[in-house]
Structure formats: structure tokens, C-alpha cells
Structure 1
Amino acid sequence: MKNPSSLYVHVPFCEQICHYCDFNKFFLKNQPVADYIEACGSEMRMSESVAPIETVYIGGGTPTALEDEQLERLLELIHKHFTIKPSAEFTVEVNPGSASKETFTMMKRYGVNRLSIGAQTFDTGLLKAINRDHGEGDVEASIQLARHAGITDISVDMMFGLPGQTMEQWQQSLIKLVSLPISHVSAYSLKIEPKTVFYQMWNRGALKLPNQDMEAEMYDWLYEYLHENDFQAYEISNFAKPGYESLHNQAYWNNDGYVGIGAGAHGYVNGVRHRNHGPLPKYLKAIEAGEMPWIESHQVPVNEQMEEEMFMGLRKRIGVNGHRFEKRYGLTVEDAFPGTVSKLQERGLLQKEENHYRLTRQGLLLGNEVFEAFLLP
């Protein structure tokens, strides 16, 4: 595996915790933010990649919950410890209404050229139900500020299958979405994850969710409506105008290596996957001791790499490149997974064209079944 050319940096601080979120995050107030940023710098020094970095993604949490000086320091450290290619895709996650024009101008100065804005919905009642701390107008305001600062490649995150959400609410949110000057959309159905407020509500029967048929209808409407408005589905949950597909996310889906920095971050370097300590005290203590802050690491066996190649690659509309698979593993897809391809083709879930394996439209709706079929004994 080549040296990783993608970098992920995790900022685990939020000013408000969303009811659905299971990412590693902490309330911002009274946290050792400055110490954390310097600790990330120390981890970067220990993780320096010899390959020029082609994609950077700063996620969270809420990176823009940091003060401008703190975020600027983090950007300085990234440039200090990694060689960022001038052409690199450089993304920062933004909470609507949490960044000023000065913030965006500073980001632009450090090479940030893409934003991922977490809208989730444009319905005021639903925003309150999921405990978001922005109003529906904050998304457009943030986009305009960013564009004035020169950052024009903008992605917006949306969610469907929210508690009490109707088809009309979903459609109205998407109509509002495509009216904005954006280039990319990530849209996900709500998943009830342990250790979230929604999980507690679901356990006691206090969470009313759309049924699976309604979720499927919402996805179908999303797919067709975005297609009509020049957003092409290049992955199950991701849609882009031509030329604006996320390069960073494609590194994950191509099963390529990446450097992961920060509390709770994951990395995949030279065939070794690792996961960092999530709790801040444990992360900071490891860094203070001059150690990598890994809670676990393991060399990924070849059979696991092949499984992941299929799981991740089939998420893309272009699918899995059979030539690339054979070059990596010395086996064809059919040899690695005997009988699996033909069975999925018979069920109408998988198609093969010019040695590319991809999900059919029906396969998109039953993706998990397809992925499970590629689990090796």
C-alpha cells in the first residue's frame, strides 16, 4: 500500500449536542482546547507522511466552534507537519451560523477551498426536534459569507427519516437546498445509535419514526430530484455537480490509506488500521508521554482488505474496478468470492460492465444485503 495522501483531523468540541450524534464529541465550555490543539500538533509530528497530502478534511464535532485564533493555530500545525499539495482538496466542516466572514477569509488564506455545512433540514420544527442550534436561514447566510471570502466549493449535509418527518417536509427542504449556490450534497437516513438521546427515547417508545417504506420513498425522491437539478449520484449517499465529487471521501471508498489525527480519530497507514483514545484525558496523557494515542491497532489481513474493497467500492456508482482489484490482491473478484457475483446478478442487485462491478437501482436500496454477501467465511 502506498504512503497515505489523505489527512483527517478531528475537532471533538460542540456548543450543543445533537440528539442523533454518536461521533466523539464534548461540550466546548471549560475544555482544554488550546492543549488539545497542541497535542494534535504533536501527533502530527509523530505521523508525518512522506507523501504530499492531496486531501485534507477537518471534521468534528464542530471545527468552527473554535475561536478563530484556535482554528488558525490548527491550520498552521497542519502546514507545519505535512506537505500539502497546492492542488489539494481542503475541507472544513461548518455549523450554520458559527463562522464569520473573517473566519472564512482566514481559512481561505491557509488553503481551505471546500466546506461541508451541516444543515440536516430546513424545517424549523425538525431542527428543534433533533436539537440543532441553528435556524433555517443560517445555512444560506453561511454560504454567502463563504463565497464572499472566495470559498465556492460547498457541500451541504441533509438527513431524512427524522422523527415525525413527512414526505412534504423532506421535499420542501430539498427544494430549498437546490436553490442555493452549492456543488455537493450528502444525504443520509437517520440511524439510531447507542449512547445518543434518540436511542434513549427509542428504548422507551417515545420516538416516532417514518417506516422503512417511507424512507425508501424519501430516498427515491431525493435521487430523482437531485438528478433533475444536475446533481449526479456518485455514491449511495453523495451527489455532486460534475467535477465536484469529494476526493477525500473517495479515498475512503477506494480503500486507500489515510492519516487520522485527534481524539477518537481512525487511521489506515501501510495496511495497519488504528483507533485513537476518545476521552480527552486519555488522548492528552498518551501524547504527553510521547506515545501514539492508539487504543487499538491491527494489521488488516488480506481477506479483510478484499471485503472492505467490495463494501466500500460498491458504495460508489462507478463500482469496483475489477482490474484494480486483481492488481491489488492477485485474484479476480469471482475467484476471491466464489459464486457471490452470479447470485447477486440473478437477484438483480449487482451488474458487471467492462470489468466494473456496481449496484443496480434495486441494489442501492438493499445495499447492506449486498455487502453482507461479500463477507468471507
Structure 2
Amino acid sequence: MKKLGLYIHIPFCRRKCLYCDFCSFVDLDESVEQRYAKALVDELKLYGKRFESHVVDSIFIGGGTPSLFRGGSIEYLMKSINKNLRIAKDCETTIEINPGTIDAKKAQAYKRAGINRISVGVQSLDDEVLKKIGRIHSRQEVFDTIEMLRETGFENISADIIFNLPGQNVESPVNDIKEILKTGIKHVSYYSLKLEEGTPMYSMFDRGEIRVCDDEDERRMYYSGRREMAEKGFLQYEISNFSLKGFESRHNLKYWNREEYLGLGLSAHSCLDDLRFSNTTDLDKYLKNIEFGKLEYETLEEIEKSEAEWEYMILGLRKTAGITYKDYEKNIVINRDRFNDKITALVEKGLIFNDGGSIRLTEKGLDLSNSVFIELMPD
């Protein structure tokens, strides 16, 4: 049976963060929640028997802020998923939450729904920094939320930490890492702020109202955080992701391994049988399409073999384990001679390590990964 990942997008937030360019809205009420939850279920039903030969081994409920939904809505959604798809007994089922939007009652509902992994949007443990970036929670709410989740019985908890935020110095992120690891979490996503054009924070930066660190200090933040996690037994398995052994994100690994996944909900993306497609970003249009029984995509493209090979290379090299030679020879056919030459050149530059059994980025290559990926791009 083919394995399938399932992504569900819940595009609602209490307030949009200043740096966020994701598809999300702040006008959630109970009627909209009920209508949207039903649309998610109906969208899945519209695929009919398309996935009879698949087994879902990872589910990720992302946003937005999925924890704004009532616990009952998540239970309804998960019950419908289990009814309409074949779910693996050991399926990793994740929901993203923000501190301040969840209580013990809601966490218990998640448990009943079969959710077994929680991703907490921490971002920073400095109250002043949190205010600068538009977050709605405090540092204390982070600790209270994680403690409550552990008391409810959740063991597999991940935290998102952003470095190079306005108001931070070089020591700030590693101090956040030190504190968050003391809570007993199993996984950390640790990444640098990306100023996206069109966001309020981009405009603030452009007007000189905020500043971020230079490239050298940004790298120091990354290295120090990575070093701190390594000392506490966290393994780096991808450029921005770290975990204790056995707690890697199965769902995210699907993306990096170019495995199949289906996206449900507003703006959700899917990749099936070398077809890549996405839903509309217009909430009213999405709801009406589903209510009229229409699966209508905003984008739809067939991935050509040459492009698929390039994606396989850059996504695979994001993993610290890299790509095995066996998989390389299986997946790289059309451009093998070209990639062989590129790999040889990158080995000579000290950016790729090739031991005959696998191909992976060196420490220098991890740091300069974007340059490596550009080098591997089609001519």
C-alpha cells in the first residue's frame, strides 16, 4: 500500500503576527468555524475512492492557529478523517498551537481525537521581543502551556524558535533554547527570521523602524543554538530541525523525501503522482466551491522528470543524512551525468561530502546551503 501524508490548513488567527505572510484571517466566529470544518470534511469526501490504495501515516493540522478551533471541531474533523481514509496504527498526528489559545479541556479533546504530537509556536521567550513581532502570548504562557500538555499526557512536543528577531542580541536565541529544553520537549524547529515583502514587519524594516543583526551575528546565533542542542542530545536531522532520537517530524520528512501528500483547506498544497496543485486563497470561493461539490484548484502543474530530479536533490540534501547512493541512482536518471559533475565540483569546494555510500552537505555546506542549491539548478 502507498503511504500518504495529510495536511489540513486552518487559516484563522486571533491576531496576525507582523512577520507572517501565510494565508490567514482574524474574523473567526462559531458559525464560520462550523462552516469551515464541514468544508474540510466535504472536500475530503469529494475525492471519493481516490485514496483506497493509500495508508495515511502522518497528519499535520497547521495554520493559522488551529488551536483557536474548539476541541469539538477537531474531534469532528479527526473522526471524519478516520472514517474516510485508512489510517496507520502508528500514524503521527500533529496539531499546531499557540500559547494562550488552549486549555486542559481542549488538550483532552485532542487526546480523544487521536492527536499524539503538538507543535508549539514559541518563537521567543522574551516578552519585549514577543510584543515587537506581534505575538499574543507571554513567556509564562509558554511554560504553563507545555506543563499542561505534559500533564494531559502529551510526550511528543515540538517548539518553534525564531532567531534574528528585532530586539534580540547574539545571546538571546541560545538563552531561549536553554530554557525551552528544560521543559522536556522532544523537538525544536530553529530558523532565522525571513522578512517577507508585503508584511508589516518588512515595511517597518524598510522605514528603519526596526533592525535585525548582520549576517555574521545571524550565523553566530545559529551556531550557538545548534551547539546548545547538540550538548543536550538533540540531533540535527535537517538544516533547521533538531530532535531527540526517534522524535523527528515524520510529516516534514515526507516533504524532504518527495513523498506524496494531500492538502485540505484554504491555500493547501498537494503533491500526488508527480502532479502539484493548490487550493484557492479566497475563503468565500473555497467554501462555495466545496458546498457546490467542486474541487477547483488555483494552481495545477505536472512535474517534469528533469524538475523532479532537481527537487529530489535539493530537498534530500536538506537532511543531514543526505541521499544514499542507492536512492540517488534510482531517482536521478536524466541528469545523472550533469549532477555527477556538479557533485564533484561541490566536493572540491568542501560543500558536499561523498563517501560512495551517501551524498550529504558538509558543515560548510549546511551553512551555505542556498549556494549549493543554486549550483545544482538546471543551467
Please tell me the TM-score bracket, short chain as reference: over 0.9
Match of 1:169 among 167, 172, 194: 172
Show the counterpart of 1:353.
355
Per-residue CA deviations over 1:315-357 (Å, capped at 9, x if unaligned) read 10000222113223446x7525252111111111111123311
For 1:60 and 1:115, the matched residues in 2 are separated by 13
For 1:300 and 1:4, the matched residues in 2 are separated by 20
For 2:160 and 2:366, the matched residues in 1 are separated by 19
Percent of residue pairs identical:
35
Match of 1:74 among 77, 84, 89: 77
Give the C-alpha shift of residue 37 in structure 1. Answer: 1.1
For 2:18 and 2:108, the matched residues in 1 are separated by 31
Contact 1:92 1:114 in 2 (8 A): yes
Show the counterpart of 1:146.
149
**Aligned residue type for 1:374:** L
Show the counterpart of 2:341.
339
Contact 2:309 2:331 in 1 (8 A): no
Where 2:171 maps in the other structure, the secondary structure is: helix
**Aligned residue type for 1:49:** F
Give the C-alpha shift of residue 212 in structure 1. Answer: 0.6
Contact 1:3 1:269 in 2 (8 A): no
**Aligned residue type for 1:43:** E
1:48-63 mapped onto 2 (5 Å cutoff): 49-50=51-52, 51-63=54-66
1:110-129 mapped onto 2 (5 Å cutoff): 110-129=113-132
For 2:3 and 2:64, the matched residues in 1 are separated by 24
Where 1:157 maps in the other structure, the secondary structure is: strand
**Aligned residue type for 2:290:** I
Q: After alignment, is 98-107 or 360-369 more displaced?
A: 98-107
Show the counterpart of 1:303.
306
For 2:38 and 2:87, the matched residues in 1 are separated by 19
Per-residue CA deviations over 1:246-276 (Å, capped at 9, x if unaligned) read 1111000001110111101100011100011
**Aligned residue type for 1:253:** W
Unaligned runs of 5+ in 1: none
Where 1:5 maps in the other structure, the secondary structure is: strand
Contact 1:319 1:357 in 2 (8 A): yes
Per-residue CA deviations over 1:139-192 (Å, capped at 9, x if unaligned) read 221112212222110000000010131022222211111111110000110001
Task: Report the TM-score, using the length of structure 2 for normalisation.
Answer: 0.95
Q: Does 1:273 align with 2:272?
A: no
Show the counterpart of 1:328.
331
Contact 2:74 2:113 in 1 (8 A): no
Where 1:138 maps in the other structure, the secondary structure is: helix
Show the counterpart of 1:42.
42
**Aligned residue type for 2:125:** F
Q: Does 1:370 align with 2:372?
A: yes
Match of 1:189 among 186, 192, 208: 192
For 1:221 and 1:23, the matched residues in 2 are separated by 29
Where 2:293 maps in the other structure, the secondary structure is: coil
For 1:22 and 1:293, the matched residues in 2 are separated by 23
**Aligned residue type for 2:38:** E
For 2:174 and 2:375, the matched residues in 1 are separated by 33
For 1:111 and 1:86, the matched residues in 2 are separated by 10
Q: Does 1:65 align with 2:65?
A: no
Give the C-alpha shift of residue 203 in structure 1. Answer: 2.5
Contact 2:12 2:68 in 1 (8 A): yes
For 2:84 and 2:191, the matched residues in 1 are separated by 34
Show the counterpart of 2:14.
15
For 1:250 and 1:236, the matched residues in 2 are separated by 12
Show the counterpart of 1:94.
97
For 2:356 and 2:144, the matched residues in 1 are separated by 45
Where 1:32 maps in the other structure, the secondary structure is: helix
CA RMSD of aligned residues (A): 1.6
Contact 2:10 2:63 in 1 (8 A): yes
Q: 1:6 to 1:52 in 2, by over 3 A?
A: same
Q: After alignment, is 151-160 or 133-142 more displaced?
A: 133-142
Q: After alignment, is 160-169 or 286-295 more displaced?
A: 286-295
For 2:159 and 2:260, the matched residues in 1 are separated by 25
Q: After alignment, is 246-255 or 74-83 more displaced?
A: 74-83
Give the C-alpha shift of residue 49 in structure 1. Answer: 2.0
For 2:198 and 2:86, the matched residues in 1 are separated by 38
For 2:9 and 2:19, the matched residues in 1 are separated by 18
Contact 2:71 2:110 in 1 (8 A): no
For 1:205 and 1:92, the matched residues in 2 are separated by 36
Unaligned runs of 5+ in 2: none
Deviating beyond 4 angstroms after TM superposition, the runs of 4 or more aligned structure 1 residues are: none
Contact 1:89 1:113 in 2 (8 A): yes
For 1:131 and 1:19, the matched residues in 2 are separated by 5
For 1:282 and 1:311, the matched residues in 2 are separated by 34
For 1:72 and 1:241, the matched residues in 2 are separated by 29
Give the C-alpha shift of residue 19 in structure 1. Answer: 0.7
